[in-house]
Amino acid sequence: MQKHITELREQGFTLIPGFFKRADIQKAMKDIYQLAPTAKELAATPDRYPHILEDTESTKFEFPYAGSHLNHMATHPRILKLVEEILGADDVLLSRSCVWAKYGGTADFDQALHLDYEGNTLVVPREDGDHRQVNAILYYSDVTADLGPTYAVPLKHSKNAGMWPPHRYRAKEPALYKHEQPILAKAGDLLLFSMSTFHRGSGLLDPDGSRYTHHLVYRSAKHAFTGHYLWAHFGEHAPLQRFITETSVAQRSAIGFPKPGHPYWNEATLKAVGERYPGMDMGPYVKGIRRA
Ligand SMILES: O=C(O)CCC(=O)C(=O)O
């Protein structure tokens, strides 16, 4: 894994083949099909999905999900451990999780090269230690050249490009596009890239094709000027209630839930949080108080 961490730092992106096994991907795909159709279903009944034909944003689905496999993937212990290693931090938070279904022959998914930081920090990215944020794309389906690969520009070709503006257009900056590389991926591969890496999604050339991906951002909890979502915002929704009730301590912590031993916990908060999430194992939080 060290080789990938080095490549991410030096090149600005790295593809980790087979990060997840087929079985994990298949489970996640079952959850995705609750949200979005297969390409075949879409072709057979296009009138059921007028939004898909017109709007590239309409097939984006944000965390938390009704399907627990997708929630599990977004906070997967293997990803969290890897991000901890990259940041040198033990307080990694999920900033964003968005599943995206793209279909050939529908809207145009071709994007301009851009940096992702505008929606993820109030300032501009800093690429050292726990200031870094990690962008990831988990591919749930194979991505060939005609299934809308992500393109990324190695950092050495963008060092003079500056940070502002985040979007760069082909007509104005053709040189940047000369160096973009397509990321051809198999289902289960994980692409990591930095907030300073120019990249873009491309159009699906295969009119019958589809592409399913999970777009993730992680950060350290230390810097309140970074982040995309405050997950408490979704606290009234059943999927978040269920996620908190049924998931692990580490995965809960990854959305900002106070860890066992955190000063927030006392007899009163333990009791009341237990009432808010009936069925949740409060044991680790109880033990955390006893140890403190
Ligand atoms: O879908 C992709 O491959 C990249 C998408 C992307 O860069 C974006 O939407 O910001």
| Chain segment 171-216, per-residue pLDDT in tens | 999 999 999 999 999 999 999 999 999 999 999 999 999 999 999 9
Within 6 A (CB) of ligand 1 lie 111, 116, 137, 150, 199-201, 213
Distance from the first to the final alpha carbon of the chain: 35
| Ligand 1 centroid distance, CA of 158 (Å) | 18
Closest atom, ligand 1, to C-alpha of 148: 3
pLDDT at 170 over 80: yes
Digit-coded pLDDT (tens) for 60-80: 999 999 999 999 999 999 999
| Ligand 1 centroid distance, CA of 201 (Å) | 4
Residue 89: predicted pLDDT: 97
| Ligand 1 centroid distance, CA of 150 (Å) | 7
Contacts of 68 by beta carbon, 8 Å cutoff, 6+ apart: 31, 242, 243, 246, 247
Atom 4 in ligand 1: residue holding the nearest Cα? 201
Question: Is the pTM higher than 0.85?
Answer: yes
Closest atom, ligand 1, to C-alpha of 150: 3
Digit-coded pLDDT (tens) for 154-169: 999 999 999 999 999 9
Least confident of 15-24, 50-59, 237-246: 50-59
Name the CATH superfamily for 2-230.
Answer: q2cbj1_9rhob like domain (2.60.120.620)
pLDDT at 292 over 70: no
Burial class of residue 198, CB neighbours in 10 A (0-12, 13-18, 19+): buried
| Ligand 1 centroid distance, CA of 263 (Å) | 39
Residue 291: predicted pLDDT: 73
What does the domain layout of the chain look like in residue ranges?
Answer: 2-230
Confidence band of 252 (pLDDT split at 50, 70, 90): very high
DSSP reduced 3-state for 102? strand
Closest atom, ligand 1, to C-alpha of 183: 3
Atom 1 in ligand 1: residue holding the nearest Cα? 201
Q: DSSP string covering 155-197, please?
A: GGGTTTS-SSSSEE-TTT-HHHHHT-EEE-B-TT-EEEEETT-
Digit-coded pLDDT (tens) for 38-68: 999 999 999 999 899 888 889 999 999 999 9
